[in-house]
Amino acid sequence: MINRIIIRVKVLQIVYAYYQKNAKDLVSAENELLFSLEKSYDLYHYLLLLIVLLTDAEQKRIDKNKNKLLATEKELNPNTRMADNRFAEQLRTNGKLTAFSIRKGTLWNDDDSLFVRNLLKKIIQSDYYKEYLESADSYELDKEFWRKIFKHVILEDAELFEILEDKSIYWDDDLDVIGTFVLKTIKRFSPETGTKQELLPMFKNEEDKEFAVKLLHHTLLEEKENNERINRQINNWELDRIAQMDLYIMQIALSELLNFPNIPISVTLNEYIDLSRYYSTPKSPNFINGILDSIVRELKSEGKLFKDE
């Protein structure tokens, strides 16, 4: 689940923090990176559990309305499709999600109850909710309801961003990417698997974990050489006049270019130019693209870069 897009972002964050603190301890930097990646995996579970929490909130809303002194006919005989949603119940009893909750303890708590009620109101007011209540009764439609709600209501909710930001500094930039993995997980569920439905693993394979650690190590250890290469390309500029984030992005990109022969040059360049769009200045993508292109040509002419474009 933790793919290389997330890894590159996390490495950039750790490199930035490392230099801001003027740190020298590679082991601490590596531990911080792995902890940051683990927190991203926590968020994946956290968002899946939110579906269960919202389903519980719907049942509480129904029960409260039924117990009103002057309950209406509609409140006494409500549509319970969402409260009885089979996909949400399967998620509640999922073995991996249950084990995660036991291991990590309470994730959503009483302090989040107002947020959950507000989010439930937005769901109920949405067209997706109305369409769902009027649709045929099937497991597939139960699942499709939550896919639509998660994509179009939950992920679009500004309050969710604020809640997650307050809960963990590691989640500031994770929601969009992790949200796509939650959507993939919803699609993968089937009634036949019951409580044994597999969730996405933290890493697709051991190679991705090794990529994260190696990329961080090479970047920090090769700072001097990478800066020398960058400096030769910036003509009348000096390194301290370049936006710090641009410098860090180029350092990581160079370490990836030189140390991971199976990653094509174009993939590395595109990934780090994209990173600069989010983490640096409006002029950074063109600037970084120009510098890295020049360095790639230099490395090829020196016979130090042999891999696919």
Domain ranges of the chain: 4-196, 222-301
pTM of the model: 0.91
Cα separation, 162 vs 36, in Å, equals 19
Angle between helices 206-221 and 244-259 (to 10 degrees): 120
Closest Cα to residue 252, out of 282, 286, 275?
275
Q: What is the pLDDT of residue 305?
A: 86
Mean pLDDT of 288-307: 92
Whether the predicted pLDDT of 239 surpasses 70 = no
pLDDT at site 241: 72
Instruction: Please give the average per-residue pLDDT across 48-67, as a whole number.
Output: 96
pLDDT in tens, 112-139: 999 999 999 999 999 999 999 999 999 9
CA distance 205 to 240: 39
Q: How far is CA 42 from the centre of its chain?
A: 10
- Torsion, Cα 259 286 178 159, to 10 degrees, reads 150
CB 82 within 8 A of CB 58: yes
Q: pLDDT, tens digit, for every residue of 133-180?
A: 999 999 999 999 999 999 999 999 999 999 999 999 899 889 999 999
Report the alpha-carbon distance of residue 227 to residue 79 in Å, rounded.
64
Residue 101 near residue 50 (C-beta atoms within 8 A): no
> Counting every residue, how long is the chain?
309
| Average pLDDT score over residue span 33-41 | 96
Question: Residue 234 has what pLDDT?
Answer: 84
Question: In CATH terms, is domain 222-301 a member of 1.10.940.10?
Answer: yes
At residue 216, φ and ψ (nearest 5 deg) are: -65, -50
For tokens 């800066």, name the residue. 227
Rounded Cα distance between 288 and 49, Å, is 40
Tell which wins on pLDDT, 30 or 110.
Answer: 30
> What pLDDT was estimated at residue 235?
72
pLDDT digits (tens, 9 = 90+) for 201-238: 999 899 999 999 999 999 999 999 999 999 888 875 66
Q: Among 59, 10, 58, 73, which Cα is nearest to 37's?
A: 10
Q: CA 87 to CA 52: how far, in whole Å?
A: 9
Q: Are 216 and 29 in contact (CB under 8 A)?
A: yes
Please give the share of the chain, as a percent, with pLDDT higher than 90. 83
Give residue 297's pLDDT band: very low, low, confident or very high (50, 70, 90): very high
